[in-house]
Amino acid sequence: MAVPADEVGNVLHLITSKLPYLPGALRQIGEYLLAHPQQAQSMTISQLASACGVAESTVSRFVRELGMDSYHSLRLSLAEATFATRSAGAGREEEFVYEGILRGDEPPAIVGKIERSSRQALAQTAKQVSGDAISRAVDLLHDADSVVFCCMGSSSIAAEEGVMRFTRAGKKCLLYRDQSVQVMLATILTPRDVLIGISASGKSSAIVEAMRLARQTGATSIGITSAQDSPVAELSDVPLFTSNVTGEGLYGESVTSKWGQLLLIDILYATYAARHFDDTLRHLKETYEAGIRHSRSPGNPSPKG
């Protein structure tokens, strides 16, 4: 049986009110449902448990905590809540504009939704990071003469972070925004180069083509994607997987879907730096001093800027 009729359309409000008082595992479920109510209403109990990183019995306990007698009741209540929201916005095609943000959401609710979605993306990515894969990727980076980043759209956020970090660690890095140039560059790589392809879907045509061409030249590749059965994963010598919480609206990708990519870049850099501590420290000092000298040269803005 579902929750009382006067609470049916507000099951998300019910979860929100209980969230601060729930223990860790149950809170994870609540946070996931609040961030992804539409996806969750079509999930089986095992799928939801997997997405939240908990046991099925924990999901059942969460259902009882809400005063429901079955998981099916929870799914119905979620469906009714999202349907009520869509009905209230009849005449508009979009169901949400960003991260599950609904018409009429106030700043406190928006802050909570974005924060929960971001934490969920980071937590899920961290849980599925393979230490062995990270180690193999760092081996490739250490042996590489150059590290080439391929990306498009907001995945360039992680790529630019990677360029900055590994350049300061002493690695020669290349990143071109133009996808055509990325593909052309892939044709002249050598077995001493590493290509890092970043694509949430794992299907971005330019990244897939660049990785395919890089493989033909003998270059190795590291793929960062959320899709384990994607072309990017298949073409990677070392695939690294982010959370599958996409957080996408109708009109483009969100930044929270990129937290996993940034986390993996940070993990790669930190592992590389720890393994080659003295060399990295020396390069950090050299690049820092070069940056300071440049900022103090005539015609450049003050380093305080």
Using one digit for the tens of pLDDT, what is the confidence trace for 206-247? 999 999 999 999 999 999 998 888 999 999 999 999 986 544
* 277 pLDDT more than 50: yes
Structure tokens at 41: 């209403």
pTM for the full predicted model: 0.69
pLDDT for 105: 76
* 85 pLDDT more than 80: no
Full 3-state SS string of the chain: CCCCHHHHCCHHHHHHHHHHHCCHHHHHHHHHHHHCHHHHCCCCHHHHHHHHCCCHHHHHHHHHHCCCCCHHHHHHHHHHHHHHHHHHCCCCCCCCCCCCCCCCCCHHHHHHHHHHHHHHHHHHHHHCCCHHHHHHHHHHHHHCCEEEEECCHHHHHHHHHHHHHHHHCCCEEEECCCHHHHHHHHCCCCCCEEEEEECCCCCCHHHHHHHHHHHHHCCEEEEEECCCCCHHHHHCCEEEECCCCCCCECCECCCHHHHHHHHHHHHHHHHHHHHCHHHHHHHHHHHHHHHHHHHHCCCCCCCCC
What's the CA gap between 231 and 46, in Å, rounded?
27
pLDDT for 292: 86
Structure tokens at 78: 């979620």
Could you tell me which residue, 126 or 159, shows the higher pLDDT? 159
Confidence class for position 82, pLDDT limits 50, 70, 90: confident
Distance (Å) of CA 188 to CA 47, 72, 199, 215? 43, 55, 22, 11
CB neighbours of 220 closer than 8 A, spacing ≥ 6? 140, 144, 191, 193, 194, 195, 214, 237, 238
Structure tokens at 196: 């890092």
Using one digit for the tens of pLDDT, what is the confidence trace for 172-186? 999 999 999 999 999
What's the CA gap between 208 and 150, in Å, rounded?
9
Determine contact, residues 175/160, Cβ cutoff 8 Å.
yes
pLDDT for 250: 41
Mean pLDDT of 136-151: 97
CA 153 to mean position of chain CA atoms: 14
Confidence class for position 123, pLDDT limits 50, 70, 90: confident
pLDDT for 21: 78
What's the CA gap between 76 and 41, in Å, rounded?
7
